[in-house]
Amino acid sequence: MEWQDQGLVLSVRRHGERDAILEVMTSAHGRHLGMVRGGRSQRQAPALQPGNRVQLTWRARLEDHLGQFVAEPLESRAGIVLSDPVALHAVTYLAMLLRLLPERAPHLHIYGAAEGACALLGKPEILAPVLIRFELMVLSDLGFGLDLAQCAASGATDDLAYVSPKSGRAVSREAGAPWAAKLLPLPGFLVDAGPIVPAHRSDIEDGFRLTGYFVDRHLFDPRGLDYLATRSQLVTGLLARLARPV
């Protein structure tokens, strides 16, 4: 068995004296693990850092074996990940979310979104709304997608301002006014399907509050996962960078 693909490095762990077990999110083969011969050597280790993009060749005798990777660097982000705590938290959290997906199941759009987020590690004003949309994407792929297209009460598609914490459906400003205190704010950049642009700090706060509620309810809590601390560090760091509204 053999295939070639591009991948985003999620983690690398020691295997023996010189080898390593590499975990990647690939374009066509989903989240995948494999052994890298000499992966801890001075020549290969720099390419196998979380957040890097690599070209991969995977080989194994049988499809269900761990197999071996040959990894060649395509884009290194180790510099910013190791020097910027926000970038480190972002890569760590992305890896946590990607591990919720079934291993070796293709998720091309998820790979593209994760790779796109890592390309924005030095641009927190864009990275923040991208990460919020990424959480929504993972929720959707795991069967817990939110319906933000129209009002759950009236069917209206304009002036959507809230999300019901019970149903995960959007609610218009008028229909939700009597229950506004019990609804989650819906930031405008999640309603607009256009290109992602910098958002106001208050909208970013509302966005992370919205996705955080459903991510914990559907993904973290049922699995007994303690991911909220890492997410909180990431959100706090991003909001600190966005202290001044754009």
Same domain, 236 and 180: yes
Say if 166 falls within a structural domain. yes
Same domain, 137 and 37: no
Closest alpha carbon to 129 in 212, 219, 190, 214: 190
pLDDT of amino acid 243? 74
User: Which of these three, 77, 111, 142, is where a domain ends?
Assistant: 77
Q: In this model, does residue 63 exceed pLDDT 90? A: no
Same domain, 233 and 155: yes
The residue with tokens 């459903």 is 214
pLDDT class of 192 with cuts at 50, 70, 90? confident
CA atoms within 13 A on the CB side of 126: 12
Count the domains in the chain. 2
Same domain, 168 and 237: yes
Same domain, 133 and 194: yes
CA atoms within 13 A on the CB side of 125: 9
- The CATH number of residue 54's host domain is 2.40.50.140
User: Which of these three, 77, 107, 139, is where a domain ends?
Assistant: 77
Say if 34 falls within a structural domain. yes
How far is 108 from 36, CA to CA, in rounded Å?
24
Same domain, 61 and 127: no
Indicate the range of 31-45, 51-65, 171-185, 194-208 predicted with least confidence. 194-208
pLDDT of amino acid 17? 86
pLDDT class of 246 with cuts at 50, 70, 90? very low
What is the value of pTM for the model shown? Answer: 0.93
pLDDT of amino acid 244? 53
How far is 187 from 126, CA to CA, in rounded Å?
15
Listed in sequence order, the residues at least 6 apart from 179 whose beta carbon sits closer than 8 Å to its beta carbon are none
pLDDT of amino acid 82? 93
**Average pLDDT, integer, range 3-31:** 95
Indicate the range of 164-178, 192-206, 223-237 predicted with least confidence. 192-206
Q: Residue 9 sits in which domain range? A: 2-77
**Average pLDDT, integer, range 177-186:** 96
Say if 160 falls within a structural domain. yes
Residue 83 token pair: 């020097």
Same domain, 164 and 230: yes
Say if 86 falls within a structural domain. no
The residue with tokens 């011969």 is 37
Residues shown for the chain: 246
Q: What is the pLDDT of residues 24-48, one digit of tens each?
A: 999 999 999 999 999 999 899 999 9
Contact 32, 59 (CB under 8 A): no
Same domain, 132 and 234: yes
Same domain, 149 and 229: yes
Say if 107 falls within a structural domain. no
Say if 96 falls within a structural domain. no
